[in-house]
Every structure is written in C-alpha cells, then in structure tokens.
Amino acid sequence: MGGVAGVMLYEPDGTGMGISTMLGQPRAQQVAELADQVQEWAVEALCAATMPAVWPECPAHPNAHPLAPVVLHGQAVWSCPRDGVTVALIGELAATLTTAADRRVEAEGGERRSARKRKRQPTRD
C-alpha cells in the first residue's frame, strides 16, 4: 500500500512546515523520517527565536550537537552522531534523560525528587 501521510507544524506566528512520510515503509523508518523533519522544524524555530538551536541536545556532548534520529535493529532511536551511542527510543527521550539524571544524582550521594513526588510537609504553628 503506497501513498503519503503528512501534517503541518505551526509556530506561534502562524508560519508552518509540512512533514510527511511514505506509507508502506517499515514503521521504524517512518518514525525516524518524521523525527528528522520535526527536528529540522524545531531547530529553525529555535534559531528564529534566537535560542540555542541544538535539539534534542546530546546528553554526552552538551551544546555541541543534536542527537540524530536513526533506525537501529528495527527501532527508531535518538543516537549520538559523534560516538554512535543510542540514547533513547524516539518518543521516550524525556523519560530516559530524567532517569539518567536521577541515577547521576544518586551516584553522587544526593537526592533528586520531582515536584509530583515531593510530599507536602505539614506546617507547624
């Protein structure tokens, strides 16, 4: 089955960019292609807003380069283009980076708690 599926991404100022993928390709290939196009849109939007245009940022090389969307072993992943290390499945990057940060803090002997995990301490009068 052929064809093309696409959507438009819009910025707050109303400008937009279309992204699309060919139907009939393996799902991982479609996801990686879409992630590549979303990354291009995001980098352009960040640049236009005069913000650092490195998205998503490689956690191993901050401010150096963005991660690259690739297909590896039949899965769409974010990978470091410098050393080839897989960082996360596309769609799971935020959870992966949060978990890695938690492990780093724990290894350093600290404690990291997100706002939703913090328990409200009773106030004393």
The domain ranges of the chain are: 4-107
Residue 121 predicted with pLDDT over 90:
no
For residue 20, pLDDT over 90 is answered with: yes
CA distance 16 to 83: 33
Give the C-alpha separation, 94 to 43, whole Å: 18
pLDDT band at 76 (very low <50, low <70, confident <90, very high): very high
pLDDT at 36: 97
Burial level of 1, CB count in 10 A (0-12/13-18/19+)?
Answer: exposed
| Residue 114 pLDDT greater than 60, yes or no | no
